Copies of this chain bind each other. A is one copy, B any other.
Amino acid sequence: MVSIGIDVGSVATKGAVYDGREILLMEVIPTGWSPKETGKYVLEKLKERGKLLDDQIIAVVATGYGRVSLPFVTEKITEISCHGKGAHYFDPTIRTVIDIGGQDSKVIKINSQGKVLEFMMNDKCAAGTGRFLQVMANALELDVSELSKAGENAEPQRINSMCTVFAESEVISLMAEGASKESIAAGLLESVANKTYSLVSKISVEDKVFFSGGVSKNSLLVNMLKKKLGAKIITEENSQLNGAIGAAIYGWERKKK
């Protein structure tokens, strides 16, 4: 018997299969234009790879912004809940989760069962999200994955504008004035770290924080956050699947009750 979680995000759709003890299978594909088709595809792919028969699947839980588009699931659960649960799966001692995705950022406090106690979310403003870094990398003519390495040994250039639109102009002016790409890259990551810090500081933080979402792959940003928060930051190669994993576990737990 298994439970399947599907997390339809703005950039990627993730799927996970849980058997009550561990995650057996994972799948990540770009969301593209149709969250519904992509969600269905991820489900079929997982069934195929796991050779799963329909009556072996006790639940299919959808989460993520595109969850509303999946009519074929057994339940829909908010990202916040699923991210809390997913982080708990990775490390049950975690009580604080920071997730920065393609177009939002959130801080979640969870209890010892991975249940959400409190959260803060920004999904209204592109500043401080992966989108901000995408726009800025573009202005610097770098790939977003190159920002961390570029800024690694540089003195961060102060970026005054918090707004993505104004910061983009600022970056272009700074380059015209001769500031190095390296120092600008470091400054931009610092700007995201500051924005995240201000979100986090609305919630008290434990000395250990689980950092998930696409932006957690940025090691320079991880270091900056570590300093600002004065906390140990735990990242996971597969933390992108956090939401899908949490959804799969919720599906299992609810059916087994």
What is A's interface to B at a CB cutoff of 8 Å? 33, 103, 124-126, 131-132, 135, 161-166, 176
Contacts and interface: CB of A to CB of B under 8 A. Distances in A.
Q: Quickly give the copy total for this chain.
A: 2
B164 A164 contact: yes
Contact of A166 (B33, B126, B161, B176): B126
Q: Which 6 pairs show the lowest CB-CB distances between chains A and B?
A: A126-B165, A164-B165, A125-B163, A126-B163, A131-B165, A126-B166
A181 B166 CA distance: 26
A125 B125 CA distance: 9
A165 B124 contact: no
Contact of A162 (B124, B162, B165, B176): B124
Contact of A124 (B33, B124, B131, B163): B163
Contacts of A131: 165-166
A142 to B, nearest CB: 18
A55 to B, nearest CB: 38
Most buried by B among A124, A132, A135: A124
A72 to B, nearest CB: 23
Nearest to A10: B169
A165 B103 CA distance: 10
Contacts of A126: 163-166
A191 to B, nearest CB: 13
A129 to B, nearest CB: 9
Contacts of A103: 166
Most buried by B among A124, A132, A165: A165
A132 B163 CA distance: 12
A135 B166 CA distance: 12
